[in-house]
């Protein structure tokens, strides 16, 4: 089952690259911005509950798609870029096994426990 999920996430990551390619931005913006959603982990400096909330908002694919669609409706290429980066990053994280976080600790995700505490 995990291989199927990883394959689906890989397809979504490739889709994000394809859609990014259709935007009018230089190619180097994608690798530069792809890790920016991880800045949401700063919330863990306060406590695990706020950290999980911040992380989950920044890694929610529904929010990413809403931002992208809003960018199409408005038409705002920066919103489209933001949505694609969030979507692609979330897919990349899930390929690597990093899921949405539970409130107790960073290692506890909806895809299972990650890291050394496994």
pLDDT at residue 117, as a whole number: 57
Classify burial at 95, counting beta carbons within 10 Å of its beta carbon; exposed 0-12, middle 13-18, buried 19 or more.
Answer: middle
pTM, to two decimals: 0.92
Cα separation, 7 vs 15, whole angstroms: 12
For the stretch 65-112, pLDDT in tens is 999 999 999 999 999 999 999 999 999 999 998 999 999 988 899 888
What is the spatial distance between Cα 9 and Cα 13, in angstroms, rounded to a whole number? 6
Distance separating alpha carbons of residues 84 and 22, to the nearest angstrom = 11
């Amino acid at each position: 089952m995990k291989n199927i999920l990883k394959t689906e996430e890989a397809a979504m990551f490739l889709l994000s690259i394809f859609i990014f390619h259709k935007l009018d931005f230089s190619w180097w913006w994608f690798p530069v911005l792809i890790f920016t959603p991880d800045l949401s982990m700063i919330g863990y400096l306060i406590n695990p509950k706020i950290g999980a909330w911040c992380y989950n908002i920044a890694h929610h694919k529904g929010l990413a798609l809403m931002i992208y669609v809003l960018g199409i409706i408005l038409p705002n290429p920066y919103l489209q870029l933001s949505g694609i980066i969030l979507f692609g990053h979330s897919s990349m994280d899930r390929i690597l096994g990093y899921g949405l976080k539970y409130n107790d600790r960073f290692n506890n995700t909806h895809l299972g426990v990650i890291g050394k505490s496994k």
